[in-house]
Amino acid sequence: MGIQNKYYGWRWGEEDPIFKNLGYIQNVLGYIDPADKSFTSNNFKELFYPGDFDLLQKSWKKYKKGTDHAFEMSYRFKHKDGSWRWIKESGLANVFNTSNNPIGGIGTIQEVTDKKKKYTQLKSILKNVSIIILRLRQDSNNQITVDHISKEALKYWNIPCETLLKDEGYLRNLAHKDDLVGIRSALSNSFAKMEFFECRWRVVSKEGNINWCQGVGTPLKDKDGTCFLDIVITDITKEKLYTEQLKVSEEKYHSLFQHSPQPSWVYDLETLAFLNVNSAAISKYGYSKDEFMGMTLADIRPECELENLEIQVQKTRENYLNFFDGYFKHINKQGEILTVHLYSSPITYNGQKCRQIIAIDISEKMKYLKFIENQNKSLKRIGWMQSHELRAPLVRLMGLINLLTDQDSIGKEERHYINTEIINSANEMDIMTKNIAQIINDAQLKEKMNDVQIIAG
Amino acid sequence: MTYRLLQVDDDPVILFLHNKLFSKYTNSKIEQFKNGRLALDYILIDNGPDISYLLLLDINMPVMNGWEFMDEICNHGLENSTSVIILTSSADCTDLDKSKSFANIVHFIQKPLTKEKIEKLPLLMEYLALQD
């Protein structure tokens, strides 16, 4: 608050050194005007925050009786404006008698209101987040102990922390027993090499729930030569869960992709290079996986299809999220042309915008289709011939035979004509039926040839 | 009013058979045409306000088949003065369906024409009677 630290000394037999600093406290609390007599050595105790004066007295007496040569304590006063101000006193014994007992010391007094405010804010923040801040210190015997832990966050984790700071086996409270070896090893390594510490382990809550956490930090050397490591511990349970789910999903996808009976691949939309191919594609196209990895889409297209490929790829680049399917001609390593029904969908592969393809070879299906189409054509032709061509001589025959039953109306010449036409019509029918038989024979022959081709293929 | 019965068929044997059948009902010779074109040309010259025609029309014929002939009749606005009996050897049901699209087709008969079939067609019987 603009008032500098004050240094002072005291003798062991003297009263509480706070009484040496009344002028400093008077300034901190806003009683600046020399004419202001409202701040006196008698009433300043009333300005203490309730309980803080007694606490200070107790601490000081305890310090004087003890063997610890350093002290530090903070207390609060009411400012003239009504707000509370924090003051910190710290000191160190520097004069000793022949028995090596302290008889004099030096110290500082300073206002730490701002620091305290910030610390309180930090504590409040830490209360609402799951981050644990843990300071570990390694002494000269390489023993690691807990210097500090942000207890607020421990509530979030619900781990037994009451004895954490005293307990040398603090790690047992912070980690699953199966992970202790890993953490100890990472810690010793970090302290030994003064390298960045990073470790993931499980934390077991009081209820026995397991959470995953990650601790990171960099070891530093303190003024006294010891090393300390501030570790920031964060809850990564969800991340771990998602990562696991993602891993399972990726494995599932990979398995579906690899074991799909349909040829499938992933290609880079910019370079058209193959990035992954499944075993069905390797088997169908005859290239090894390594060969595929050095190829682009153009290598499995016949030359006449390259222009179409460029047009299609351009369309896909313009609308990356587009799903489409279509019929294309491909060529395998043996130079055979395949007719494929191709399904294309967007996929992010190793962070790149890619496309996944499923290519179903319909060459055999097309052969069957063509065969059935031809058969249908033959059937239609036979149907038409029976309906039109074969029936013409037949109806003629029927009419002529009908006429023969009416003997009275037929003259000699007409009888001759009728006989001739009966023979002509019968011959015509004979030719027609032979033609129909030929069409059926041709269709059967084609079917046999197709069967042979399919078996050979 | 004049009623003319016309046969349109390219098969001479069929025409011979029809003549033999019709001779039982009329002494007049029924006009015959070998294709639709010839029949159409005849009607275009012959037709008048007092003339009605009944045609025995085959479908499959060279030059102009039965359906082309029907279209021409419509094109010349002769539907009202012509009635048509399709007489065909075809067993194709698409032909029967097509015949239903022409209002002046009154019957669809499969060959061969017989005495029994003729006598079941009153309109044909009327025309035969009026040919004398």
A349 in a structural domain: yes
Q: How far apart are CA B84 and CA A447, in angstroms?
A: 45
Helix (H, G, I), strand (E, B) or coil at A260: coil
Q: How far apart are CA A449 and CA A68, in angstroms?
A: 107
Helix (H, G, I), strand (E, B) or coil at B103: coil
Estimate the crossing angle of helix B12-22 against helix A412-456, to 10 degrees: 140
Q: How far apart are CA B79 and CA A191, in angstroms?
A: 111
Tokens of A288: 């090894």
- Split into its structural domains, chain B has a count of 1
Residues A141, A67: one domain? Answer: no
A248 in a structural domain: no
Residues A145, A235: one domain? Answer: yes
Which ranges in B4-52 belong to alpha helices (H)? 12-22, 36-46
Nearest 5°: the CA angle B72, B30, B84 is 35
Residues A236, A267: one domain? Answer: no
Q: Can you tell me which residue has the tokens 């009263």?
A: A15
- Residue numbers of the domain that contains A324: 260-361
Q: Which residue of B has its CA nearest to A425?
A: B13
Which regions of B9-97 does DSSP assign to beta strands (E)? 31-33, 51-57, 82-88
Residues A18, A54: one domain? Answer: yes
The model's pLDDT over A310-352, given as tens digits with 9 standing for 90+, comes to 998 899 989 888 898 999 999 999 999 999 999 999 988 888 8
Stretch A96-114: mean pLDDT: 83
Residues belonging to chain A with any Cβ–Cβ distance to chain B shorter than 8 Å:
383-384, 386-388, 391-392, 394-396, 398-400, 402-403, 409-410, 414, 417, 421, 425
pLDDT greater than 60 at residue A275: yes
The model's pLDDT over A9-65, given as tens digits with 9 standing for 90+, comes to 777 667 677 777 888 888 888 888 877 778 887 788 888 898 888 888 887 777 777
Residues A79, A51: one domain? Answer: yes
Mean pLDDT of chain A: 84
Stretch A180-205: mean pLDDT: 88
Query: Cβ atoms within 10 A of the Cβ of B131, count?
Result: 16
Q: Can you tell me which residue has the tokens 């511990």?
A: A233
Residue pair A218/A227 in contact (Cβ under 8 Å)? The answer is no
Q: How far apart are CA A257 and CA A253, in angstroms?
A: 6
Residue pair B26/B129 in contact (Cβ under 8 Å)? The answer is yes
The model's pLDDT over A237-266, given as tens digits with 9 standing for 90+, comes to 888 888 888 888 888 888 888 888 999 999
CATH code (residue A87): 3.30.450
Whether B94 and chain A come into contact, CB under 8 Å, resolves to: no
The model's pLDDT over A146-185, given as tens digits with 9 standing for 90+, comes to 888 777 666 777 765 544 444 556 666 677 888 888 888 8
Which H helix or E strand runs over A92? strand A84-96
- pLDDT for res A165: 43
Stretch B28-44: mean pLDDT: 92
Tokens of B45: 């010259």
The model's pLDDT over A402-451, given as tens digits with 9 standing for 90+, comes to 888 877 778 888 888 998 999 999 999 999 888 888 888 887 777 666 65
Q: How confident is the model at residue B89 (pLDDT cuts 50, 70, 90)?
A: confident
Q: How far apart are CA B57 and CA B67, in angstroms?
A: 9
**Pairwise CB contact (< 8 Å): A399 & B17:** yes
The model's pLDDT over A342-373, given as tens digits with 9 standing for 90+, comes to 999 998 888 888 999 999 999 888 888 888 88
Helix (H, G, I), strand (E, B) or coil at B92: coil
Q: Which residue of A has its CA nearest to B111?
A: A395
CATH code (residue B105): 3.40.50.2300
- pLDDT for res A1: 46
The model's pLDDT over A433-444, given as tens digits with 9 standing for 90+, comes to 888 888 888 877
Residues A266, A351: one domain? Answer: yes
Q: What is the nearest CA distance from B65 to chain A, expressed in angstroms?
A: 13
A155 in a structural domain: yes
- Residue numbers of the domain that contains B35: 2-130
pLDDT greater than 50 at residue A457: no
**Count of all residues that appear for chain A in the document:** 457
Q: What is the nearest CA distance from B89 to chain A, expressed in angstroms?
A: 6
Residue that finishes a domain, picked among A361, A382, A415: A361
- Split into its structural domains, chain A has a count of 4
Mutate to test the interface with B, among A381, A401, A402 (most CBs of B within 10 A): A402
- pLDDT for res B41: 94
Residue that finishes a domain, picked among A361, A395, A418: A361
CATH code (residue A287): 3.30.450.20
Residues A288, A334: one domain? Answer: yes
Q: How far apart are CA A212 and CA A256, in angstroms?
A: 30
Give A86's strand partners.
A76
Q: How far apart are CA A147 and CA A71, in angstroms?
A: 17
Residue pair B10/B61 in contact (Cβ under 8 Å)? The answer is yes
**Pairwise CB contact (< 8 Å): B89 & A421:** no
- The dihedrals phi and psi of A225, each to the nearest 5 degrees, come to 90, -15
- pLDDT for res A456: 46
- pLDDT for res B28: 86
Task: Tell me which range, A1-15, A394-408, B45-59, is most confidently predicted by mean pLDDT.
Answer: B45-59
Q: How confident is the model at residue A453 (pLDDT cuts 50, 70, 90)?
A: low
Q: How many beta-carbon contacts under 8 Å exist across A and B?
A: 52
Which of A83-87, A154-158, A277-281 has the weakest average pLDDT? A154-158
Residue that finishes a domain, picked among A85, A112, A139: A112
Q: How confident is the model at residue A105 (pLDDT cuts 50, 70, 90)?
A: confident
A121 in a structural domain: no
